[in-house]
Amino acid sequence: MKKILVPTDFSDTAEHALKIAAQLAKKHGSEIYLMHMLELPTQLIDPVDGNNSQNLPESIFFMKLAHQRFAELMTRPFLKDVKVHETVMFHQAFEGIMEVSQQNNCDLIIMGSHGASGFKEMFIGSNTEKVVRSSSIPVLVIKNEHENFEIENFIFATDADASNKHTLEKAYKFSQMIAAEFHLLFINTPNNFITSTEIRERIENFISGTDIKDYKMHIYNDVSVEKGILNFAMKKKKTLIAISTHGRKGLAHFFNGSISEDLVNHAKMPVLTFKI
C-alpha cells in the first residue's frame, strides 16, 4: 500500500479519515493524496468554455480559499513526517475521486461518513454510493475518530461464491497487512436458509486453492444479512467490517439493494469494500 487517496471537504469526519490515513502511511511508508473538489454553481462556469471555469475571478477565490484550508490542515501534528500531495480540482466529486485515484495509481481510498444521519458535506446524495460501488480499489469508510487505528478483528462477510475468490484473497491480504484476526462470516436468514453442513462445504470450497490458512469461520443466524453482520460485529472489539461489491451492477448475491450503504450508515465501526 504505497498511495492512499483521501477526499476532503474539511469537515470533522473527513479529518477523522485523514488521521487514519496518516497512521497507515507512517506504518507502511505510504504517501497521501489529499484532494478537494470545488463544485461551482453553474452560473459561475464560463458559458463559452466551461473547461476554463478555474480562470474566473470567483473560481480563483474559491481555489485560494481551498489552498488556505489545506495549509491549515498540514499544520496538524498527526501529519508530521507524512508525505502529502495536495490536489484541488473543479469537478463533480465522484468523477474527480475516480480520476485522481486512477491517475496516481492509488491503492486505497479512505473517506469520512456521518453515519446513520446520512452522508453530508461533499458526499451528498449518490456520491459515496458511487465511490463504494464503482471504485476498482478498496474503499475504507470512517465515521468516528480513532486516536490509534488498531484493528484486532477483520470480519469479511461473504456468501462464499467460488467465482469471487479474488476479493477473498484481497481481503485476507489486507487483514494480514494490519495484523488483524481474519473472520469469515456467513449470515443465514429465514428467507434464504441453508443448512450448516451446506454452508461449511461452500466456505471450504471458497477457501480451497487460496493461500488462506489462518482464519475463523462463523455461521450467524439473523432476520436479515445487514442485521446479522452488525449484531455479530458488535460482539467483537476493535472491529473492521469488509464486504464485496459488484460495482455498477449491484452488490454480490445476498448484498443486494442497499446493504453496503446501510452498513456504512449504521455500523459504528469502519467498513471496507472490495470490488468484485
Please report which confidence band the pLDDT of residue 119 belongs to, taking 50, 70 and 90 as the band edges: very low
pLDDT more than 90, % of the chain: 49
Average pLDDT on 222-249 reads 87
Q: Quick one: pLDDT at residue 94?
A: 74
Closest by CA to 222, choosing from 185, 182, 274, 256, is 185
Class of domain 153-275 as given by CATH: alpha beta
Say which range, 39-48, 123-132, 235-244, has the weakest mean pLDDT: 39-48
Q: Quote the pLDDT of residue 118.
A: 45
Cell 487483514 maps to which residue?
175
Strands 139-142 and 108-112: parallel
Cβ–Cβ under 8 Å, residues 271 and 264: yes
Burial class (CB in 10 A: 0-12, 13-18, 19+), 158: buried
Residues 158 and 184 sit within 8 Å (Cβ to Cβ): yes
Name the band, by pLDDT with cuts 50, 70 and 90, for residue 258.
Answer: low
Which pLDDT score, from 0 to 100, does residue 242 have? 94
Cell triple for residue 130? 458511487
Q: Looking at residue 95, what is its pLDDT?
A: 81
Minimum mean pLDDT among 3-12, 183-192, 258-267: which range?
258-267
Same fold, 3-142 and 153-275: yes
Least confident span in 166-175, 253-262, 267-276: 253-262
Give the cell for residue 272: 471496507
Distances (CA, A) of 1 to 42, 88, 248: 38, 23, 25
Q: Does domain 3-142 have CATH number 3.40.50.280?
A: no
106, pLDDT greater than 70: yes
- φ, ψ for residue 255 (rounded to 5)? -90, 45
pTM of the model: 0.85
Please report, for the chain, the start and end positions of each structural domain, with discontinuous segments joined by +. Answer: 3-142, 153-275
- Residue 228, pLDDT above cutoff 70: yes
What is the rounded CA–CA span in Å between residue 274 and residue 174?
Answer: 11
Residue-level pLDDT at 39:
64
Instruction: Give the sheet arrangement for strand 153-157, strand by strand.
Output: 84-89, 31-37, 3-7, 108-112, 139-142, 271-275, 239-245, 153-157, 181-188, 216-221
